[in-house]
Amino acid sequence: MDYKEFLKTTLPHLGLRWRRFRSKSIRKRIISRLQVLALHSWSEYHSYLFDNEEERQQLSGLLTVTISRFWRNAALFEALETTWLPAILDRLPANEPLRIWSAGCASGEEPYSLLILWQESFAGSGRELHLLASDSDSRCLARALQGRYPASSFREMPRHLREKYCTNEGGTFSLPGGFHDRIVWAEHNLISDPPFKGNHLIFCRNLAYTYFTDSLQEKITVGFHRALLPGGLLVLGRKDHLPKGSGGLFRRLQHPIYERLSDNHA
Ligand SMILES: C[S@@+](CC[C@H](N)C(=O)[O-])C[C@H]1O[C@@H](n2cnc3c(N)ncnc32)[C@H](O)[C@@H]1O
């Protein structure tokens, strides 16, 4: 068995699309793991995994890509600010908070971007934002708590916003201390934990629709449909697409923004 064969026969059992993990860097990471376990071939590791749930979790952890950045897909943030958030707020009673869930939030870059967007354009209206951010990787959540990022994390965010909201400490940029507490953080696995309900928007970018198998994507899409309030929006990554057969659950407003259809939609 070679590396490609190993990926093909193992990763679908973890709910992952094997083609996404062919890079040399991921191969290297897995080889280091084989060395730790004193295993000598891909087929030995393949068999070992099947008897060992803990090792399957370990491998999932090794495969996790945690790269993110502020304002990722800047055009999306502009569309949210000018069109889609105002549209939802118009329909929402003034005393009801806007509820957003950022699923797979990495080290906080996405929910903090949403919080900054809110501060800039909507907070003045007196409306309230409830922002929930979740990730399966506790190390990511710990980094979000620190709220310190390299300049490269801000390359898509308008510079004036970085200057307004971050303190430059020798090339590392820190968010204001209180920002962390304005978001509810949760360790949550999209594959094994039930979705959080009652959201007006769910962001799931560069995660389920990038790395998960089609059947898992279908299951998660049904879960997101239930987790969104009527008329709620599901926001994907720039290169993500909903799985085939989602047409009865969501309709595209403007890629990558999809509107939840009502349950009785034909
Ligand atoms: C590539 S990052 C995307 C971050 C952000 N959404 C963005 O688009 O920039 C993927 C994130 O998903 C998390 N993740 C991976 N598998 C997950 C799972 N099963 N449940 C929840 N989060 C997961 C990773 O820890 C990582 O932080």
pLDDT in tens, 65-104: 999 999 999 999 999 999 999 999 999 999 999 999 999 9
Cβ–ligand 1 contact at 246 (below 6 Å): no
204, 103 Cβ separation under 8 angstroms? yes
pLDDT in tens, 46-67: 999 988 999 999 999 899 899 9
What letter represents residue 196's amino acid? Answer: F
Which stretch of DSSP H or E encloses residue 121?
A: helix 109-121
Task: For the chain, give the percent of residues with pLDDT over 90.
Answer: 95
Ligand 1 nearest atom to the CA of residue 204, by list position: 6
The sign of the dihedral angle between the CA atoms of 155, 157, 161, 166 is negative
Pocket test for ligand 1, best of 63, 136, 188 (most atoms within 8 A of CB): 136
Q: Give the chain's domains with CATH numbers.
A: 3-63 (no CATH), 74-260 (3.40.50.150)
Cβ–ligand 1 contact at 67 (below 6 Å): yes
Can you give the pLDDT at residue 240? Answer: 98
pTM of the prediction?
0.95
Ligand 1 centre and the CA of 141: distance in Å? Answer: 11
Give every CB contact of residue 39 below 8 A, 6+ residues apart in sequence. Answer: 45, 48
Report residue 266's pLDDT band, with 50, 70 and 90 as the boundaries. Answer: very low
